[in-house]
């Protein structure tokens, strides 16, 4: 296993008195794709959000434990939350572009972080859109509204928007749940490319998808980590009965 | 049958409206055209156009007071105030304030600025009072406009590493711009023709309210003082007043018409707070 980029230590998430994640311990390898799999309500989204300090935006949400990003606890004192969120990008389950032009959507992040020069912004927009294979489709209409794009294009635009702030980690929440199969396949191709340069954490309920794109799999059930291993190991020799049932499609 | 009655009733109401406006235009347009605008002093040595300018100045002054405060408070309540009982009580009381009859604001303005603060300039007192009267409306319009912005925009912005203030300024306000402008213009239009608070203030002898040259007040005074006669000047003034408020409404309507409604799924429509 390569170095761990993100390490969860006794990570618990509560919503009010309800515990959604119970003491997760997991090291997420650098420059690889790790899939977080599990049934609906297993806590996949909560886990992703707690890796980039987004969970605290939800009503009554509370996080305990540690998340180490490059060795530093992002829940520690004196941490700049905005910097954590810049370094760890989150693609929401249904990514929504801002109601403005394609260009402005991608330039939004760099502008936040102080990029003002037009030519620099142009370069960032072009590079980011190329990274998500959207440049050819939209290069002649960068100034049109992003809301006119198809759902699949919107999802890729949101990935480009996240890439534009030069994150180290990309958390992608269940893209298959809101997209058609063709768009989902494009996102999967994208993940395969991006994992060369970024650490990717993909939440998915789709075992096949996890098998296609991920190098490692973590299986969550009812807020607990059941099993973690390389994708081939998990498929070939699941240690836990629940994992085996999930892989073979025997639900509960 | 019920449906037919409602249709009939709505035509009746529309008919009455058209009749009122038509009558106003018929009686007012002639005198306005015949030079009431420039030449003839109609009131306290002022021509109609001077009175109109004075009116616009007062309301611009009131807006300069109410807009920054009102928008600021609206932003705070929508984006930053903790979601507590106190916050909801605050909003409820602002709704109450917006519904207080304008004449009560006049009484308040008279008491607070003239009696208590000892201001002697009637225009200043009217300006401050109008500003305070506009305030709760602007707070509510701002609050409502911001609450319509989907939570997802705030989350997406924060996820890119924006600070809360950057999120308000760059993601929320631009998305609420049109709604904000429409609400504020309509609030201003409603306020621009109101005379009740001014009457109360002008009745204070120490303030020299006689010299008060504001369109709605001029209309009121000139009708009281000259109950008979052709009323040409009054109709001209009424038409001018109506046109002013119509103008504000028209701008608001233009903004509304040019607004392209974005196609969004239901989940995206969810407005409100984000923590
Ligand atoms: N904002 C929230 N408030 C209260 N409960 C929540 C909230 N978000 C998630 N939960 C609960 O936490 C559990 C895990 O949810 P989630 O992380 O969305 O799981 P998954 O993404 O695997 O479906 C679920 O039982 C869900 O109902
Ligand atoms: Mg989920």
| Domains, chain B | 40-257 (1.10.3720.10)
- The string of pLDDT tens digits covering residues A188-210 is 999 999 999 999 999 998 888 99
A-chain CB neighbours of B158 within 8 Å are 54, 57, 85
In which element (H, E) is residue A83 found?
helix A81-87
The token pair that represents A17 in the structure block: 């008195």
- What's the burial of A182, exposed, middle or buried (CB within 10 Å: 0-12/13-18/19+)? exposed
Instruction: Provide the pLDDT for residue A196.
Output: 92
Cα B233 from Cα B224, distance rounded (Å): 13
8 Å CB contact of A112 and B155: no
Whether residue A128 is contained in a domain is answered as no
3-state DSSP call for residue A25?
A: strand
Q: How many residues does chain A have?
A: 252
3-state DSSP call for residue B259?
A: coil
Q: Closest Cα partner for A90 from A171, A187, A169?
A: A171
Its domain, for residue A219, covers 4-95+168-247
Q: Closest Cα partner for B201 from B62, B53, B43?
A: B62
Calculate the alpha carbon distances from B249 to A66, B5, B108, B173 in Å.
56, 29, 28, 22
Calculate the alpha carbon distances from A116 to A84, A109, A144, B32 in Å.
22, 11, 21, 53
In which element (H, E) is residue A125 found?
helix A118-131
Cα B105 from Cα B128, distance rounded (Å): 11
Q: Closest Cα partner for B63 from B3, B10, B112, B132?
A: B132
Q: Are A8 and A26 in contact (CB under 8 A)?
A: yes
Instruction: Provide the pLDDT for residue B146.
Output: 93
Cα B62 from Cα B6, distance rounded (Å): 40
Nearest-by-Cβ selection for B267 from A90, A94, A165: A94
Whether residue A16 is contained in a domain is answered as yes
Least confident range from A23-32, A113-122, B228-237, B246-255: namely: B228-237
- The string of pLDDT tens digits covering residues B117-166 is 777 778 888 888 889 998 999 999 999 999 999 999 999 999 999 999 99
* Confidence bin at B76 (pLDDT 50/70/90): very high
Say if the ipTM goes beyond 0.85: yes
Distance, C-alpha B40 to centroid of its chain:
30
Calculate the alpha carbon distances from A244 to A44, A223, B215 in Å.
18, 18, 82
Q: Which ligand 1 atom is at minimum distance from the Cα of A42?
A: 22
Distance A162 CA to ligand 1 centre (A): 24
**Ligand nearest to the CA of residue A42, numbered in listed order:** 1
8 Å CB contact of B170 and A92: no
For position A15, which CATH number holds? Answer: 3.40.50.300
Distance A20 CA to ligand 1 centre (A): 6
Bigger pLDDT: A101 or A95?
A101
Percent of chain B with pLDDT over 90: 22
Instruction: Provide the pLDDT for residue A51.
Output: 96
Least confident range from A12-26, A209-223, B172-186: namely: B172-186
List residues near ligand 1 (CB under 6 A).
A 15, 18, 20, 38, 40-46, 58
Cα A84 from Cα A169, distance rounded (Å): 10
Nearest-by-Cβ selection for A92 from B83, B155, B262: B155
Q: Are A251 and A245 in contact (CB under 8 A)?
A: yes
Per the structure, how many domains does chain A have?
A: 1
**Ligand nearest to the CA of residue A92, numbered in listed order:** 2
In which element (H, E) is residue A33 found?
strand A33-37
* Confidence bin at B39 (pLDDT 50/70/90): low
Sign of CA dihedral B150, B151, B156, B161: positive
Has residue B270 got a pLDDT over 80?
no
- The string of pLDDT tens digits covering residues A42-59 is 999 999 999 999 999 888
Q: Which ligand 1 atom is at minimum distance from the Cα of A174?
A: 21
| Among protein residues, the one whose CA lies closest to atom 4 of ligand 1 | A15
CB neighbours of B246 closer than 8 A, spacing ≥ 6?
B189
Whether residue A206 is contained in a domain is answered as yes
Average pLDDT over residues A140-161: 93
Instruction: Provide the pLDDT for residue B48.
Output: 80
3-state DSSP call for residue A43?
A: coil
8 Å CB contact of A94 and B160: no
8 Å CB contact of A57 and B152: no
**Position of tokens 């760890």?**
A88
Cα A63 from Cα B71, distance rounded (Å): 34
Whether residue A43 is contained in a domain is answered as yes
A-chain CB neighbours of B271 within 8 Å are none
Instruction: Provide the pLDDT for residue B25.
Output: 87
Least confident range from A89-93, A128-132, B187-191: namely: B187-191
- Beta strand extents in chain A (DSSP E only): 4-15, 18-29, 33-37, 61-69, 72-73, 88-91, 169-173, 199-204, 216-221, 224-230
CB neighbours of B228 closer than 8 A, spacing ≥ 6?
none
Q: Are A11 and A66 in contact (CB under 8 A)?
A: yes
Instruction: Provide the pLDDT for residue A193.
Output: 93
The token pair that represents B157 in the structure block: 């912005």
Q: Are A72 and A153 in contact (CB under 8 A)?
A: no
Chain A contact present for B268, CB below 8 A: yes
Least confident range from A21-30, A122-131, B248-257: namely: B248-257
- The string of pLDDT tens digits covering residues A207-240 is 889 999 999 999 999 999 999 999 999 888 888 8
Instruction: Provide the pLDDT for residue B222.
Output: 79
Instruction: Provide the pLDDT for residue B24.
Output: 87
Whether residue A235 is contained in a domain is answered as yes
* Confidence bin at B190 (pLDDT 50/70/90): confident
pTM over 0.90: no
Mean pLDDT of chain B: 82
Average pLDDT over residues B235-251: 87
Q: Closest Cα partner for B260 from A153, A138, A146, A179?
A: A146
8 Å CB contact of B157 and A158: no
Has residue A87 got a pLDDT over 90?
yes
């Amino acid at each position: 296993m390569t170095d761990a980029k993100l390490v969860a230590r006794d990570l618990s998430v509560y919503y009010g008195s309800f515990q959604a994640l119970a003491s997760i311990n997991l090291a997420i390898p650098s420059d690889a794709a790790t899939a977080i799999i599990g049934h609906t309500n297993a806590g996949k989204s909560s886990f992703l959000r707690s890796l980039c300090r987004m969970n605290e935006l939800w009503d009554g949400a509370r996080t305990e434990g540690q998340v180490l990003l490059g060795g530093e606890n992002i829940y520690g004192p004196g941490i700049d939350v905005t910097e954590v969120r810049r370094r760890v990008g989150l693609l929401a389950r249904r990514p929504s572009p801002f109601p403005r032009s394609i260009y402005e959507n991608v330039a939004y992040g760099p502008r936040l972080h102080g990029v003002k020069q037009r030519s620099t912004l142009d370069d960032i927009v072009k590079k980011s859109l190329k990274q998500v294979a959207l440049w050819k489709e939209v290069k002649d209409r960068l100034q049109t509204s992003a809301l006119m794009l198809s759902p699949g294009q919107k999802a890729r635009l949101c990935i480009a928007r996240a890439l534009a702030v030069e994150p180290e980690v990309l958390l992608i929440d269940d893209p298959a749940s809101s997209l058609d199969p063709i768009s989902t396949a494009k996102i999967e191709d994208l993940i395969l490319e991006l994992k060369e340069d970024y650490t990717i954490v993909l939440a998915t309920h789709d075992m096949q998808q996890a098998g296609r794109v991920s190098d490692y799999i973590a299986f969550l059930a009812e807020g607990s980590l059941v099993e973690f291993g390389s994708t081939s190991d998990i498929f070939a020799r699941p240690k836990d009965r629940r994992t085996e049932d999930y892989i073979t499609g025997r639900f509960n | 049958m019920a449906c037919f009655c409602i249709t009939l009733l709505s035509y009746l109401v529309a008919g009455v409206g058209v009749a009122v406006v038509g009558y106003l235009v018929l009686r007012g347009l002639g005198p306005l055209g015949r030079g009431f605008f420039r030449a003839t002093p109609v009131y306290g040595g002022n021509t109609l156009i001077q009175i109109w300018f004075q009116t616009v100045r007062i309301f611009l002054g009131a807006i300069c007071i109410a807009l920054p405060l009102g928008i600021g408070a609206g932003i705070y309540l929508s984006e930053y105030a903790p979601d507590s009982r106190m916050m909801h009580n605050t909003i409820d009381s602002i709704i109450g304030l917006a519904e207080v009859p304008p004449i009560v604001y006049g009484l308040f303005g008279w008491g607070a600025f003239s009696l208590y603060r000892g201001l002697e300039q009637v225009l200043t007192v009217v300006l401050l009072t109008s500003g305070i009267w506009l305030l709760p409306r602007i707070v509510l319009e701002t609050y409502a406009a911001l609450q319509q912005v989907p939570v997802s925009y705030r989350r997406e912005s924060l996820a890119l590493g924006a600070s809360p203030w950057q999120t308000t300024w760059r993601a929320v306000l631009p998305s609420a711009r049109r709604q904000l402008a429409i609400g504020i213009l309509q609030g201003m239009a409603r306020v621009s023709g109101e005379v009740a608070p001014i009457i109360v203030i002008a009745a204070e002898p120490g303030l020299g309210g006689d010299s008060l040259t504001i369109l709605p007040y001029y209309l009121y005074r000139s009708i009281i003082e000259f109950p008979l006669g052709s009323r040409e000047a009054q109709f001209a003034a009424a038409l001018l007043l109506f046109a002013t408020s119509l103008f504000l409404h028209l701008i608001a309507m233009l903004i509304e018409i040019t607004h392209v409604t974005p196609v969004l799924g239901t989940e995206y429509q969810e407005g409100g707070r984000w923590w």
